[in-house]
Amino acid sequence: MTDNPWTDIKREAKLVTLPDAYLRLKAILDKQNFAMDDIANAISQDPAITMRLLRIVNSSLYGFSKKIDTVSRAIAMLGTLQIHDLVLATSVAQSFKGISTDIMDMQRFLKRSVYCAVASRQLIAFSRGCDKERVFVAGLLHDIGHLIMYRALPSLAQQVITTARENNKPFYLVERALFGFDYAWAGFKLMQEWAIPDSLCDITRYHVEPSIAEKAQTETILIHIGSLMTRADDGEGVFNEGPLTVDNFCWEHIGCAPEDCLSMVEQIKEETDEVFTLLFPKDAV
């Protein structure tokens, strides 16, 4: 560990890369003119990503009446933006493979990430105009900064956990005091390193303080609420109390209440179990 925590974070971030299939897909989509066959070919070159993509598309998340058995068909049904976000989700799942940390059990970390993705996607019911796949991916990525911090700075990260619990404070405020930055910022910088679309990067950066988000504010609010629901479900406290209190700005913005969120918990848990199995089969982590 160096004397500058941010140096360690940047070094660790460079070691985590996304699969070539996603990078090829993104390069194609970044062009002004592209053929649908090029997109399908880029994805199909990675069997693991292809399998996970098709399993998700054929799951109860979408409820299509007929089975979708090719990438080309999935693109036709969902469109390129939605396919990009789903491939990104499966790519992140593949990148997590083999990552270990002394502080956080990986299965637990991954389950929390999926729970937030599912919860945030469910909360779209209270807010029109949000893209479900984009919100899902944002939820999956929201805590990735912690993964990098746990790997790069395990001792200091453990100190944050202990201090936050002893003082009943949100983790991100303790991290700012100790590191000079928080996990949301670390995740934001990692996603920039991956050249992930700015809208997703900004959601990660501001989800701890959604009232200051200048772009994609509604999506940022959904991830803010979803992340606090996740922490409550994982035993960190009571939802909408103490360090898990939702910014009042959020309730006013999307027009729902804490009890509306709590009424979704059982459905979120069921869907989380299904999606977790799809994204992270036992032989993948």
Which of these ranges, 11-20, 184-193, 259-268, has the smallest mean pLDDT? 11-20
- Within 8 A by CB and 6+ apart from 1, the residues are 8, 152, 153, 155
By the 8 A CB rule, do 72 and 40 touch?
Answer: yes
Residue among 136, 35, 118, 13 at smallest CA distance from 5:
13
Q: To 10 degrees, the CA torsion angle through 115, 63, 277, 188?
A: -40
The residue type found at 211 is: S
What's the pLDDT tens digit per position in 98-137? 666 677 788 888 899 999 999 999 999 998 778 888 999 9
Rounded CA separation 133/112 (Å):
18
In the predicted structure, residue 32 carries a pLDDT above the cut 50: yes
* Whether the predicted model's global pTM rises above the 0.85 cut: yes
Residue among 114, 120, 106, 122 at smallest CA distance from 140:
114
In the predicted structure, residue 284 carries a pLDDT above the cut 60: no
Q: What is the pLDDT of residue 148?
A: 86
DSSP state of 59: S
Domains in the chain: ranges and CATH? 18-96 (no CATH), 99-285 (1.10.3210.10)
What's the pLDDT tens digit per position in 127-182? 877 888 899 999 999 999 998 888 888 888 889 999 999 999 999 999 999 989 99
Rounded CA separation 253/82 (Å):
25
Confidence class for position 285, pLDDT limits 50, 70, 90 = very low
In the predicted structure, residue 14 carries a pLDDT above the cut 80: no
Number of neighbours of residue 214 by Cβ within 10 angstroms = 8
